A and B are shown apart, each in its own frame.
Chain A
C-alpha cells in the first residue's frame, strides 16, 4: 500500500493505482474526458492535470501514485490550464448544445423536445415540457411574435418550423396542470399584479411549494392580456381556461385591490417575499421608494432583485415591452431568485448552462440537417385564427431538424466548460468545419465535428474486435475518427454501436432515438 496526500487529505491505495484513482478514493473528483472505466488511460484530453509538491503538472489519469506524493488537484493555475484545454477543444467543436430556437426564446423553452413529443403524439408529455418554462402556452401561442422562429435553422433551408402554433396546439389540447403540486412549505410570497409576469411568477412559486398570493386592481386576473388584445386573436375562454390551470394549483387571487405605499409596506411585513409585476411604471409604483431607472424600477438583470431586500420586480414595471413572452419568462426566472432568497442561498436566478454555438448553417449543411427532418414545406392553417389539427401538428413537428445536441444533458465537454466558465470564442481563429451527420440505420448518429479525439470509441471497437471499427485517420490538427476503407457506420459498429454511443464523452456519437 502507498500513502500519499491529495489536497491535504491522506489516502492509502494499492501500488499501481493512478493518482486519479487515488483521488477518487479520497472522495476528490478530477475532471477527465478521455478516461473510460473499461479502458486503459490514453492521456489525450489533459483535463486531469494536477500538480505535485514541486509544482510540476502532469495528467493524473496516467501517472501512478507513489509514496509521499503531495498532490494538488485544484488551484488557480490548474483551473486556468483546464479552462484553456477546454477552450482549445471548444475552438474546433462545431455544434449547438441547445437549439438556436431555444436560445432565441425569452423563456428558454425546450422547443425541439416539444416537437419530438408532438411528432410522437405525446400531448401530455409535450405540455409538461412547455409548462416547465411557459405558464401560458395557449395564450402565447396566439399572441407571441415568435423570436424562436427567427432563430430556427430550418429558416435557412426553407421556412422556420411553426413553433408558435405548435405550442398553442399543446396548450389547447390540454386543460389541466400536468404534474402534481407539492405541499406548502410554510413560506409566503405576495405578487402584485396579475398580468402575464405576475401570473407566471405566482405559478412557479406555488409549484415550488410557496404559498403564492396574487393582488390586482382588476377583478379578474390577466392584466393587459384581458384589456389590450382583441378577442378575435385571444378569445376570453382561452385566457380564462389557461389562467384557471394556474389558479387550480393553489395560487390565491385577491382581485380589486389597489396596492399603495402603505399597503406595499404591509405586504412586505406580512409576506416572506414580494414580487412587483404591476405593469408600466406609474406614480403609484414610484411611491414605493425603490431605486429606479428612466424606464422603470432598477433590478439586477439576472436575478430581478430591486434595491430593497426581498423585493423583486418583473415585467413592464422594470422596462416597457410588448413581448408577453418576456414577461412570462421573467415570472419564471424570478421564482428561482425568490426561492434562493427564501432558502438563504446566494441569489443567482435561473441556472443557465454553458452553450456551445456555431452560428449560421451553411448551404452545404442543409442536406445533413434534413437527414432527420420531414422535408415538406411549412404548413399554414387554412383560417386566420385557427390552429393545427393533431395530424397537421405531427407533420409540422416532424419538420424540426433537432438542432439541439443529443448529449446536451450529459456531455462532459459541456459540463466542464460550464464549471470552468470557458469561452468558446477565445481561440476560434479559423473558420469552423462543416457539419456532417452520419446516421446508422440500427440507431447511432455520428457527428464528427463534435468529436474531441479522445479515442474511446476507437479503443472500444478494437477491444470488442469489430471487423472494421473506428480508427484515427490523419495526424495532428486534421486527425479525425473515421471508418476504414470508407465503410458504412453500420459495418463499423456491428456489435458496439450502443456501447460507443454511451461511452462517447460528447455528443459526437449518440444513440439516434432522442428523449
Chain B
C-alpha cells in the first residue's frame, strides 16, 4: 500500500505547488484517503509553498472537506427547498434514528454509513430525495428507511449489464431518445436505458439510441421519446423499465424470423393495450400536441435551452448542424472585439446570476482595460437549495456555454478562462471536460482559433462547497486557492480580479444566451422581455405545482402564467398561497400578487429577487414562518463569517425564528427580528448577507398574521412540530399499519380497535399519517 506521504507527493506533483492548486490538492487527497488526515495536510505544508495557516483555513471553510473519516457509504439527504417542503427534515431524522445517531454525530457505529445534508441534488421534482453513493431515491417517506437500505445493499457487487452497441446507421428505423439530465437519471432513466438497450439488442432493431439532455419536463421523468423515421414522434413519460419492451415493440417491427414471431406477440400485446380495461403503457404516453404538454412547452421561448430534448449534449456535429458555433465564427472572423461588445450591450442582456448587472457594461469595462493579461470566468457555483438551471445548462448544452465563454474572451481580450463548477455537479463537470477536449480538437480552443489569430485556453475548476462563492469576489478568492471571503467592490473584478488582473465573471445562463445574441442579432433578443429586462429567463419550477421542471420564459411573463399555464396549477387540489422566488436571496410573493410580470425590477420591488431563479410554489399547507426559518438556516450555515452583520445577524434571526416556530416568542421578538433583518440587509459586506433577510422581511410583510398565530402557540398549517399534535380520528379501522411504522412505539398495537397516539412519546415524524389507508390521522 502506498503510504500517505507518497500519495500526497504524487498529488502535489500532478497539481502543482502553488496556492491556487490548494483546493484541487485537498480534493484529490480526500478522494484517495476518504478524508483529510492531519499528517497529509502537514505533508502538503512541508512540500509546497502553501502555509499551514492557509491549508487549515481552506480545509475548514468548504463543506466538501472532511477532517475526520467518513463511513463507507455516503447518504446524502437533500434538504433543498422543494425537498424541505415535502418533508426532508423528517426523512433525515428517520435515518438518524435508524443509525442511532446522537447530537452532532453523522456516522453510524459500524462506520458503514455517513449521513449528510446537502442543499440541492437538483432533482427537485422527485422530492424528497435521498442519494446513497451514486444511487438516488426519490419521493422518500420516513417509513422507507429500511427498504431503501435493503435495496441499496442488494445492489452491492452487481456488475454492469452488457453495453448496447449502436445499430448500423444505414437502416435506422427511427430514434429512441432517453433523457439523461440529472432528474431523469435520478428517476431511473439509466435503468430505462439498459432496458432499451436489451430490447433493441434482443430484437435486433435498427434504431438509433440517443441520449438527450434535460427536456425541462422534470415532473414527468423518466422520459422516453420515440421518433420514427416516418410519422409523429411520441413522448412517454414516467416510464418504468418493464414498460420498455412494449413501448419499443409498439413502434418498431423486429426484422428476423425469430424476432417476427416475437413481433406477433407484441401485436397481441398492443391489442390488449388498447383494450379499454387495461391502461398499460398508454397511461404514460404523452402526445406533444396534448394540451398539458403543449402548454408546458408552448409558452416558453428557449434561448439558453434551445433545442432541448433534441440535441445530444456532447455531439458537436449535431450542435453545429443546429446553428452551433455560428456565433463564434461571426464574432471571431467577421467582427472586431469592440463590435462584439457593442452587440452584447445592444442586446441589453443583464447578468442572470442574481443582481442583474448589465452584461454589456461589464464586458466593456474589461475590454477597455489596458492590462494585457485578462481572464474570463464562467460562474457555475450554483448553490441555491431550490435551483438547478445552471447544472442543467452545463449538462445539456456544454458547447453553448463554452461558445459564450469564448466569445466573451474574444470581446474582452482575455487569454485564459475558467469554468468554476460546484463539486456537487459531477455530471456537469464531466460533460464540460469532454466538451472542452472536443473543442480543442476542433480548434475552437487553443492557438489561433479557427484561423482568427485569437488564442484562448479554458479549464475547469471544481468548487468545494460554499454558497458564498457564487459571489464573484469570493469566487475569485476560491479560484486562487483561498477561503471564499468576499471583499468590498470597487475595485470590481473587471478592474482587479483573478491574480489582480481584469476578469470577466459571467453566470452560466448569461453565457448560454450569448451565442443566440451573436447569431440572431441583438435586435431579436431585445425584442423579447420588458422595458428594463430583456430576453428570457430560465427558472427551476418546483414545489406544490402539478408540472415542475426547468422552464425558459420571456421576461415579463406573469407568476400566474408560470404556475397555472406552464406548471398546470397547484397539485393535489390545494390552494395557491405564495411563490418563493430567488431562493435564499429571494422572497415569498403572495398569491394576491400573482399577476405581476416577472422581471428584475418587479421582483425587487415586491421584496424578492431574481436571485438564482429558483421558483418554489407553496400551497395552503405550507407554513410561511417555517419557510423563512428554512432559508435562514441555509444562509446562516453558508455565511462565510467575515462581517459582523451576516455572521451574527443571520444567526440571531434564525434563533428568533426558531423561538417563533416553537411558540416561545413574544411580540417584541418580531420587532427585534425585523430590526436585525433590516440591518443585516443594510450593513452586510456582500450580496449574501445583503439579501439573506429577504425571506424574513417578505414573509413578515405579507404573512405577518401567521407569525402572530405562532406567538399564540398556533401553527395554522400544522407544520411546526413543537406546536402540533397527531391524533387518530373515528375513521380508524384498527389495521395497525400506523403502529407498525411508528419508530418510537407511540401507538400501541391494538388490532381491530381504534388506535391511540401517545402524544408524550410521539416525535411528530409524520410516518403514521401517510401509512394510514383511511385518512384517520389528523394533525392539528
A interface residues (Cβ-Cβ under 8 A, vs B): 41-47, 49, 57-59, 62-64, 80-81, 84-85, 88-89, 91-92, 426-427, 429-430, 452-453, 458, 461-462, 466-479, 482, 484-487
B715 smallest CB distance to A (angstroms): 20
Give the chain B neighbours of A59 by CB distance below 8 A. 488, 685
Instruction: Scan residues 673-722 of chain B and give those whose CB is less than 8 A from a CB of chain A.
Output: 675-676, 679, 682-685
Check A89–B682 contact: CB distance below 8 A: no
B86 close to A (CB within 8 Å): no
B61 close to A (CB within 8 Å): yes
- Chain A interface: which of B144-152, B174-182, B634-642? B634-642
- Chain A interface: which of B450-458, B646-654, B755-763? B646-654
Apart from the given pairs A63-B488, A478-B641, A485-B38, 19 other A-B contacts in the complex at a CB distance below 8 Å? A43-B642, A57-B683, A84-B676, A88-B648, A88-B652, A426-B672, A427-B648, A427-B676, A429-B652, A429-B656, A461-B53, A468-B53, A469-B52, A472-B57, A472-B641, A474-B60, A475-B641, A477-B639, A477-B648
Q: How far is the CA of A369 from the CA of B5 in the complex (A)?
A: 40
A25 smallest CB distance to B (angstroms): 21
B433 smallest CB distance to A (angstroms): 28
In this complex, the member of B45, B61, B647 whose beta carbon has the largest number of chain A beta carbons within 10 angstroms is: B647
Give the chain B neighbours of A44 by CB distance below 8 A. 642-644, 685
B645 close to A (CB within 8 Å): yes
Q: How far is the CA of A85 from the CA of B648 in the complex (A)?
A: 9
Check B676–A485 contact: CB distance below 8 A: no
B487 smallest CB distance to A (angstroms): 7
Give the chain A neighbours of B638 by CB distance below 8 A. 476
Check A43–B643 contact: CB distance below 8 A: yes
B483 close to A (CB within 8 Å): yes
A473 smallest CB distance to B (angstroms): 5
Q: Known A62-B488, A484-B56; judge A89-B644 contact (CB<8 A).
A: yes
| Pairs A–B under 8 Å by Cβ, sample size 14 | A42-B642, A81-B679, A84-B683, A429-B652, A429-B656, A453-B642, A468-B53, A470-B53, A473-B56, A476-B639, A479-B641, A484-B55, A485-B41, A485-B56
Check B652–A475 contact: CB distance below 8 A: no
User: 1/0 contact trace for B41-75 toward A, CB 8 Å?
Assistant: 11001000001111111001101000000000000
Q: Which of A85, A453, A473 lies in contact with B645, CB distance below 8 A?
A: A85
Check B488–A43 contact: CB distance below 8 A: yes
Check B42–A485 contact: CB distance below 8 A: yes
Q: Known A88-B644, A89-B644, A477-B636; judge A81-B56 contact (CB<8 A).
A: no
In this complex, the member of B41, B641, B672 whose beta carbon has the largest number of chain A beta carbons within 10 angstroms is: B641
Check B655–A471 contact: CB distance below 8 A: no
Q: How far is the CA of A484 from the CA of B483 in the complex (A)?
A: 15
Instruction: Scan residues 606-641 of chain B and give those whose CB is less than 8 A from a CB of chain A.
Output: 636-641
Q: How far is the CA of A64 from the CA of B488 in the complex (A)?
A: 11
Give the chain B neighbours of A485 by CB distance below 8 A. 38, 41-42, 52, 56
Q: How far is the CA of A461 from the CA of B672 in the complex (A)?
A: 38
Give the chain A neighbours of B57 by CB distance below 8 A. 471-473
Q: Name A56's closest neighbour in chain B (CB-CB).
A: B682
B466 close to A (CB within 8 Å): yes
Q: How far is the CA of A429 from the CA of B664 in the complex (A)?
A: 12
Give the chain A neighbours of B15 by CB distance below 8 A. none
Give the chain A neighbours of B60 by CB distance below 8 A. 472-475
Q: Which of A49, A466, A471, A487 lies in contact with B54, CB distance below 8 A?
A: A471
A91 smallest CB distance to B (angstroms): 6
In this complex, the member of B53, B54, B488 whose beta carbon has the largest number of chain A beta carbons within 10 angstroms is: B53
Q: Which of A43, A466, A476 lies in contact with B637, CB distance below 8 A?
A: A476
Give the chain A neighbours of B42 by CB distance below 8 A. 485
Q: How far is the CA of A262 from the CA of B734 in the complex (A)?
A: 96
Give the chain B neighbours of A473 by CB distance below 8 A. 56-57, 60
Give the chain B neighbours of A466 by CB distance below 8 A. 53
Q: How far is the CA of A473 from the CA of B649 in the complex (A)?
A: 20
Q: Which of B648, B672, B683 lies in contact with A81, CB distance below 8 A?
A: B683
Q: Known A62-B488, A485-B56; judge A475-B643 contact (CB<8 A).
A: no
B491 smallest CB distance to A (angstroms): 9
A436 smallest CB distance to B (angstroms): 18
Give the chain B neighbours of A476 by CB distance below 8 A. 636-641, 647, 650-651
Q: Name A470's closest neighbour in chain B (CB-CB).
A: B53
Check B655–A469 contact: CB distance below 8 A: no
Q: Which of B53, B487, B650 lies in contact with A43, CB distance below 8 A?
A: B487
B725 close to A (CB within 8 Å): no
B659 close to A (CB within 8 Å): yes
Q: Which of A42, A468, A479 lies in contact with B52, CB distance below 8 A?
A: A468
Q: How far is the CA of A91 from the CA of B637 in the complex (A)?
A: 18
Q: Name B655's closest neighbour in chain A (CB-CB).
A: A429
Check A88–B645 contact: CB distance below 8 A: yes
Q: Known A81-B683, A471-B57, A473-B57; judge A45-B644 contact (CB<8 A).
A: yes
Check A475–B682 contact: CB distance below 8 A: no
Give the chain B neighbours of A45 by CB distance below 8 A. 643-644
Give the chain B neighbours of A429 by CB distance below 8 A. 652, 655-656, 659
Closest 5 interchain pairs by CB? A429-B655, A484-B52, A471-B53, A479-B641, A88-B648
A298 smallest CB distance to B (angstroms): 33
Q: How far is the CA of A470 from the CA of B52 in the complex (A)?
A: 9
Check A91–B652 contact: CB distance below 8 A: yes
Give the chain B neighbours of A426 by CB distance below 8 A. 672
Q: How far is the CA of A181 from the CA of B45 in the complex (A)?
A: 62
Check B644–A479 contact: CB distance below 8 A: no
A17 smallest CB distance to B (angstroms): 14
Give the chain A neighbours of B51 by CB distance below 8 A. 462, 467, 469, 484
In this complex, the member of A47, A91, A429, A453 whose beta carbon has the largest number of chain B beta carbons within 10 angstroms is: A429
Q: Which of B41, B642, B644, B651 lies in contact with A85, CB distance below 8 A?
A: B644
Check A467–B52 contact: CB distance below 8 A: yes
Q: Name B638's closest neighbour in chain A (CB-CB).
A: A476
In this complex, the member of B56, B676, B685 whose beta carbon has the largest number of chain A beta carbons within 10 angstroms is: B56
Give the chain B neighbours of A427 by CB distance below 8 A. 648, 652, 672, 676
A71 smallest CB distance to B (angstroms): 16
A416 smallest CB distance to B (angstroms): 12
Check A474–B61 contact: CB distance below 8 A: yes
Q: Name A468's closest neighbour in chain B (CB-CB).
A: B52
Q: Name A57's closest neighbour in chain B (CB-CB).
A: B682
In this complex, the member of A81, A430, A482, A484 whose beta carbon has the largest number of chain B beta carbons within 10 angstroms is: A484
Check A81–B652 contact: CB distance below 8 A: no
Instruction: Scan residues 464-517 of chain B and give those whose CB is less than 8 A from a CB of chain A.
Output: 466, 483, 487-488, 490
Q: Name B39's closest neighbour in chain A (CB-CB).
A: A485
Q: Name A484's closest neighbour in chain B (CB-CB).
A: B52
Check A477–B647 contact: CB distance below 8 A: yes
A453 smallest CB distance to B (angstroms): 7
Q: Known A43-B487, A427-B676, A475-B641; judge A458-B636 contact (CB<8 A).
A: no
A175 smallest CB distance to B (angstroms): 52
Q: How far is the CA of A473 from the CA of B54 in the complex (A)?
A: 10
Give the chain A neighbours of B682 by CB distance below 8 A. 57, 81
Q: Known A474-B61, A476-B640, A484-B56; judge A49-B648 contact (CB<8 A).
A: no
Give the chain A neighbours of B644 by CB distance below 8 A. 44-47, 85, 88-89, 452
B565 smallest CB distance to A (angstroms): 40
Give the chain B neighbours of A458 by CB distance below 8 A. 53
Give the chain A neighbours of B656 by CB distance below 8 A. 429
A44 smallest CB distance to B (angstroms): 5
Q: How far is the CA of A443 from the CA of B412 in the complex (A)?
A: 55
Check B683–A49 contact: CB distance below 8 A: yes
Q: How far is the CA of A476 from the CA of B647 in the complex (A)?
A: 5
Check A477–B53 contact: CB distance below 8 A: no
Check A84–B675 contact: CB distance below 8 A: yes
Give the chain B neighbours of A486 by CB distance below 8 A. 38
Q: Name B55's closest neighbour in chain A (CB-CB).
A: A484
A452 smallest CB distance to B (angstroms): 8
Q: Name A64's closest neighbour in chain B (CB-CB).
A: B490
A509 smallest CB distance to B (angstroms): 15
A84 smallest CB distance to B (angstroms): 5
Q: Name A83's closest neighbour in chain B (CB-CB).
A: B679
